[in-house]
Amino acid sequence: MRKMLVSDYDGTLYINEEDFNKNIAAVNQFRKNGNLFVIATGRSYQDFINVTRNYHIEYDYVALNAGTCIINSDHEYLITKIIDHSTVTSIYNELIDHPSLLYITCSQNKVLLFSNFEKNVDINNPEICKIILHLLPDEITEAAAIVDDLKTKYNIKAYLLTHDDYIEVEVIPSDCDKSIQVEYLSKLENIDRSNIFTIGDSANDIGMVKQFNGACMTSSLPDLLALNKPMFDSVSDFIKTIEKKL
């Protein structure tokens, strides 16, 4: 039976060059054995292309923008979900004066960047699918309050992503999640849930790790580690475990 492996990108598939090369080799062999590989990332299309253009990564699908879009290996869009325009406008007006950088991501190729120093960005693009506010690490209390406030006011999904030198408040459509896109691909490829394996390290990976044969990186955030799923140092190590079940 075919298996499908779904991996987060940053902090999971890619941690450092040495580990990344091992992961790519393991993934390529996994696919040669007749299985499917999916990358599920919070990155936009162009951002993903930029960071992967120098590597030979073989994949069948990529879920972009934390699950708002799916492309196949030919870079054709299969699914695109957007944030309601009135919601985008309201959040923009609410956060535009915040001193941190604010990003608006459109489904196909465009990333709009604006801050309180630059307010001339057109927010009328009909394909806005993600909003990100960057804050400093010592602003985590404020960031959490912003997430709670947005979730109360709007029909969206909002959560925190923490990094070494900044924090992200990420906003996506309410009906989006990496797990939802994994479910979609399982039906598209007719793969039983028992043959789907997922791995990640961050808040936007919780759904897919929880709902399928999930695992987490040893360096995962506390909320993901709290699921008590198997832990691995690398994707290649996870693949070795999956192959034992083939």
Q: Residue 211 — very low, low, confident or very high, per pLDDT cuts 50/70/90?
A: very high
Q: Domain of 230: which CATH number? A: 3.40.50.1000
CA 4 to centroid of chain Cα atoms:
17
**pLDDT of residue 114 exceeding 70:** no
For residue 170, give the H/E element and its range: strand 167-173
Q: Domain of 108: which CATH number? A: 3.30.1240
Q: Residue 243 — very low, low, confident or very high, per pLDDT cuts 50/70/90?
A: confident
The structure's pTM equals 0.88
Say yes or no: 163 and 89 in one domain: yes
State the Cα angle at 83 between 81 and 88, rounded to 5°: 155
Q: Identify the pLDDT of residue 113.
A: 52
How many distinct structural domains can be found in the chain? 2
Question: What is the 3-class SS of 182-242, one letter each residue?
Answer: HHHHHHHCCCCHHHEEEEECCHHHHHHHHHCEEEEECCCCHHHHCCCCCEECCHHHHHHHH
Quick count: other Cβ atoms within 10 Å of Cβ 141?
A: 8
pLDDT tens-digit map of 96-111: 777 777 777 766 655 5
**pLDDT of residue 115 exceeding 50:** no
Say yes or no: 92 and 106 in one domain: yes
Say yes or no: 102 and 65 in one domain: no
